[in-house]
Amino acid sequence: MKIKKGRVLVVDDDQGIRDQLMWALKDSYEVLLAEDGPSAMEIIREQKPQVIALDISLSPFAQNEEGFEVLRKIMELDPKSKVIMITGNETKHLALKAIKMGAYDYFTKPIDLQEIKVIINRAIYIGKLEQENELLLEKLQAERRFHDIIGSCPQMMKVFDIIGRVATTNATVLIYGQSGTGKELVAKAIHRQSLRKGKSFMPINCGAIPENLLESELFGYEKGAFTGAVGRRKGKFELANGGTIFLDEIAELSLALQVKILRFLQEREIERVGGREAIELDVRILAATNKDLQQAMEKGVFREDLFYRLSVVSIALPTLRERGDDITLLANSFLNQYNKEYGKNIKAFSAGALQELQTYEWPGNVRELENKVKRAVIMTRSNLVTPEDLDLQLSEKSGKLTLRQAKDRLEKKLIREALIKNRANISRSARELDVSRATLYDMLEKHQIGKEDFS
């Protein structure tokens, strides 16, 4: 099967430059040529090249303005276009101005053919990542079946199916899952799909409130019930009347409070602390835990009768590492979210970053993934998220690096260190690494290392 070549447009009024780049690039790319702005725009509209190499000064009489005008028109036509400016050393400041206008990168005359190939390859690669990111976001929207829950793996599709079946009933639901897997999101989805969606959703973390305060927090209290009870106060159950109460970390309840929850499930009424009046309520209970309740029952710290009352329907949430491609789906969703929140324009994850996202164990599950992507958006100085931006410390946490992965990681580390030490000078870095310039360029391309990775 013949591999389709990338399409590159060279826009330069100098016939010699056009011929030079045609000769240098024709084996690797489909090369298109234009000598002025109008012909360039016609080719761009009709053939949609992936990369455009554009001379800043297209005419000796244009005082360096024509290239900027063409760039402006390209950006208006497609802001994601990958435009690489061609400039001389004496006009490098103009190239920096062009980058602020939306150009992807620049290279200077005399042209280093190895350098321009690296720049073009990287531009094509980023363009493909952007397209994949858009497709993933479209898929994300299609799979966003239950409000803020994102997923398309078989395990999550099963969760979605259970939510859909149980939501419109009044059945109690027990949600199992490690910390960070999204137990509260599932509870909210059940409530929002239910007939109670117009009423309150009242979450309470049973492990976050001291035991001596939790009873009054749940059931309220009467005036004088204890020191400091200067008036009557309604608890979460009363405030949730007609709606849903979500008891997170239900395994942390004391046996005494377990009895009171059981009584509500049986009688549908509560008593405030210090009160004697039975208060009838219409509240649906959803509960969640990251503990093994079977083990807790065997130890006598969780009531068996309460367990069976709570678990009319059970939902088990998978860990993030079990969700496969959902990791990329979620990562791109968070990237999009924090791009907007912080006013960034980060295009995608690098190939290395995507590989590490898939390889990492994710002990903190979706919550950890969100925090890592948020950090990357804040810290990166590029339009591409690199492994260093994610700061996953993969080798320490996963313990699953193959020999090839370990070799590649060390090779990439040594290359970055040499480039940083030599201030991105390719020749000095190649000498230090004891490889040729051509080999170093190949290694940069292999590891997807760009200027942002060592600046």
Q: Give per-residue pLDDT as tens, 207-221.
A: 999 888 899 999 988
Distance between CA atoms of residues 137 and 196, nearest Å: 30
Q: Pull the structure tokens for residue 27.
A: 């084996």
Residue of higher predicted confidence among 416 and 284: 284
What are φ and ψ of residue 104, in 5° steps?
-75, -45
Q: For residue 396, what pLDDT is reported? A: 43
**CA separation, residue 325 to residues 47, 249, 270, 330, 400 (Å):** 33, 29, 46, 9, 18
Question: Does 154-317 carry CATH code 3.10.50.40?
Answer: no
Confidence of residue 133 (pLDDT cuts 50, 70, 90): confident
Q: For residue 397, what pLDDT is reported? A: 43
Confidence of residue 89 (pLDDT cuts 50, 70, 90): low
Question: pTM value?
Answer: 0.64
Q: Pull the structure tokens for residue 127.
A: 């363009």
354, 319 contact by CB (below 8 A): no
Q: For residue 111, what pLDDT is reported? A: 81
CATH class of 322-453: mainly alpha
Confidence of residue 197 (pLDDT cuts 50, 70, 90): very high
Residue of higher predicted confidence among 418 and 90: 418
Whose tokens are 């008036």? That residue is 231
Among positive and negative, which fits the CA dihedral 118, 120, 121, 126?
positive
Q: Say if residue 141's pLDDT is above 60.
A: no
Q: Say if residue 395's pLDDT is above 50.
A: no
Asked whether this chain's domains 6-111 and 154-317 adopt the same fold, the reply is: yes
The number of C-alpha atoms within 13 Å of 214 and in the hemisphere containing its C-beta is 21
Of 416, 426, 174, 179, the C-alpha closest to 306 is 174
User: Over the stretch 180-189, which tens digit does the pLDDT of each residue have?
Assistant: 999 999 999 9
Whose tokens are 């009242």? That residue is 202
324, 210 contact by CB (below 8 A): no
Please, what is the average pLDDT of the chain? 85
Domain range list for the chain? 6-111, 154-317, 322-453
Q: Strands 51-55, 82-88: parallel, antiparallel or unpaired by DSSP? A: parallel
CATH class of 6-111: alpha beta
Q: For residue 61, what pLDDT is reported? A: 52
Stretch 104-108: mean pLDDT, rounded?
A: 84
Q: For residue 398, what pLDDT is reported? A: 46
Lowest mean pLDDT among 71-75, 132-136, 418-422: 132-136
Q: Pull the structure tokens for residue 70.
A: 């063409």
Asked if omega into 387 is within 30° of 0 (cis), the reply is no
Q: For residue 425, what pLDDT is reported? A: 77
Distance between CA atoms of residues 294 and 104, nearest Å: 58
354, 315 contact by CB (below 8 A): no
Q: For residue 1, what pLDDT is reported? A: 40
